[in-house]
Amino acid sequence: MLTKPKLSKRLQTIIDFVPQANIVADIGCDHAYVSISLVLNNKANHVIGVDNKLRPLRIAERNVALFEMKENVTLLRNPIDTITQPIDGCIIAGVGKESAVAMLDEFESTFQSSTWICIQVNAKVIELRKHMVERGYRLIKETVVFDKAFYVILLYEKGIEHFSGVPLIVGPYITQNIEENREYLNKVKEIAANFRLVAHDSSKQSMYASIDDYLQGIL
């Protein structure tokens, strides 16, 4: 019998990254590997795995049974099923920025004032950072993992953001550990340098120029 799901480096990093919580919602749970691993790694007492696709949920049901997690993992299909209890943590990973925002719109009513939200989007990280500030969340932790590509994993809670300007856009905790994140930051600088030349929108051009200049100053 398998003792634990085989996770990608990205997903394992998310498991290691998040705080311990009583009830965690795994939104977009796919095959429930993260849901199961949260329990096996003592990061959650109970996980509510949610997905809107029937086929992955059927596979998730088999995985939950395989790992004998029926008492610890509840699977729901939205929008048919809904979360009916307050949750202490929420994971949204492996989706686009627009999908992540839509998931927050749908499930935010189940959050408590102390609920943490872990988000990893596949693109538009800068736009997501801005959105979370406007939404009333503050960044409490972040990390970068390379798993065939760079992925930024963000942890938020309700509150007033203490960071602002370019550091917040680039990653205030990431830039505090330059040596550890130098390869990622060089990649961001390369992208910003290109976009400052080709962006047609003046505000975006100014933003990418600020990012390029900021990173040039610290790298």
> H helices of 45-124, where?
54-66, 97-107
pLDDT score at 84: 87
What's this model's pTM, rounded to 2 decimal places? 0.94
Average pLDDT over every residue of 123-128: 94
Average pLDDT over every residue of 139-147: 98
CB 75 within 8 A of CB 32: yes
pLDDT score at 2: 64
Average pLDDT over every residue of 19-38: 97
pLDDT in tens, 82-105: 888 899 999 999 999 999 999 999
pLDDT at 198 over 90: no
CATH topology of domain 9-162: Rossmann fold (3.40.50)
pLDDT at 80 over 80: no
CB 137 within 8 A of CB 111: no
Residue ranges covered by each domain of the chain: 9-162, 163-219
DSSP state of 109: G
CB 85 within 8 A of CB 110: yes
The torsion angles phi and psi of 81, rounded to 5 degrees, stand at -100, 155
